[in-house]
Amino acid sequence: EKDETEAETEKEIENDLSIKKPASINTILKNSFVSPTDIPWTGDEPIQSTVVRMIEDKYPPLKVKRDSVKEFIDARINKNALSSLSDFNDQRFKNENDSSAVIIAIAATNDEMSSKSSSPKKTSLTPEQKKIKQREAKQSRIVDAREAAAEYSISKKYPTGDNDDHSSFTTTRFVSKSITQWESLVEQRIQEAMAAGEFKNLPYRGKPLPVDKNEMNPYIHRTEFLMNRLVQRQGAAPAWIEMQKEVDSEIRLFRKNLQTNWKRHVIAHHLFDKRDRNWEQAQKSYLEEALQKLNSRLRSYNIVAPFAARRSYLTID
């Protein structure tokens, strides 16, 4: 009887400890969402189900990635296996004479723990960590591109010629990590340019630098002075200056045409008087139309121009 009892006990332990093959993902998800107590569909939807469905439609569940689903399934399988092992261990330890059951349970537990420790976990990065890594990689690429562009422009501006040491120096890539390295690099490039004679053709070499009178003007702010000098060197001007040039050009052209027409009239009619009332009456409509356009341009100019630079309107006289 004792041998039969031990054989039955071992058989039960082997059957219980033998873990079945993991079910498919669809089966596990179905079993996790469908419970045996669910009421079958009868054609009518209860109010509770309607409310739950409306809430789920308004607040849909978060999308689960494939790795998360796999981790959920693995955790569920491991949990079931460990719970079954703990139940069997409790049952076997109650029988003090059943030493074989204790050995089998301990061996199964050790196998489970060793399999868990031997299978490495895949460390998945969070979205924030991924963004940080991408940002760092992008910044490093930008820094590398800037350094390469600076070296290329310097090598084009200061050709090496027959100097092998300088050519090897320019081909070397400088990754400056401190201000000291930048200073040494700049100083070396300056010394090389001086040795090559780049500073001998400067326009003010051996002469005093030109001094701008507005630089010491107490009524002009330093920022305004620098901005004006920058604009002047670039050959640009404020908007009202450009408009003033256009208005002056139009007025000059109008007066030139008026003088040309008067000279033609005087020569054709052999007039000796400085004014001809008949000609003025004939040209009055044209003059009024032209002066109206010029005054419109002057009005637009006076809007943007400062008070001291505004112009008065034109009349026929």
**Cα–Cα distance, 217 to 127 (Å, whole number):** 58
Token pair for 308: 């001291």
**In sequence order, which residues have a C-beta less than 8 Å from that of residue 225 and are 6 or more positions away?**
212, 214, 215, 217
CA torsion, points 284, 287, 293, 298, in degrees to nearest 10? Answer: -120
Token pair for 224: 């305004």
Distance of CA 32 to the CA centre of its chain: 43
Q: What is the DSSP string of 150-187?
A: HHHHHHHHS--TT-HHHHHHHHSPP---SHHHHHHHHH
For the cut 60, the answer to whether the pLDDT of residue 288 exceeds it is yes
Predicted pLDDT at 250:
93
Q: Is 298 exposed, middle or buried (0-12, 13-18, 19+ CB in 10 A)?
A: buried
**Cα–Cα distance, 34 to 28 (Å, whole number):** 10
Confidence band (pLDDT; 50, 70, 90) for 16? low
Our separate counts of H helices and E strands in the chain read 12, 0
Inter-CA distances, 126 with 122, 132, 146, Å: 13, 10, 31
Is 74:80 a contact under the CB 8 Å cutoff? no
Mean pLDDT of 141-166: 68
Mean pLDDT of 17-26: 54
Inter-CA distances, 35 with 28, 46, 80, 139, 244, Å: 12, 17, 17, 53, 86
In the chain, the percentage of residues whose pLDDT exceeds 90 is 9
**In sequence order, which residues have a C-beta less than 8 Å from that of residue 209 and are 6 or more positions away?**
none
Query: Could you report the per-residue pLDDT of 102-120, keeping only the tens digit for each?
Result: 444 444 555 555 554 444 4
Predicted pLDDT at 296:
93
- Report DSSP state, residue 220: S
Token pair for 117: 């420790």
More confident residue, 34 or 222: 222
Map out the domains of the chain as residue ranges.
Answer: 2-36+45-118, 128-195, 239-309
| Count of all residues that appear for the chain in the document | 317
For the cut 80, the answer to whether the pLDDT of residue 183 exceeds it is no
Token pair for 28: 């596990």
Is 306:240 a contact under the CB 8 Å cutoff? yes
Tell me, yes or no, if the pTM score tops 0.75.
Answer: no
Is 144:52 a contact under the CB 8 Å cutoff? no
**Cα–Cα distance, 75 to 69 (Å, whole number):** 10
Confidence band (pLDDT; 50, 70, 90) for 174? very low
**Cα–Cα distance, 284 to 190 (Å, whole number):** 70
**Cα–Cα distance, 294 to 245 (Å, whole number):** 13
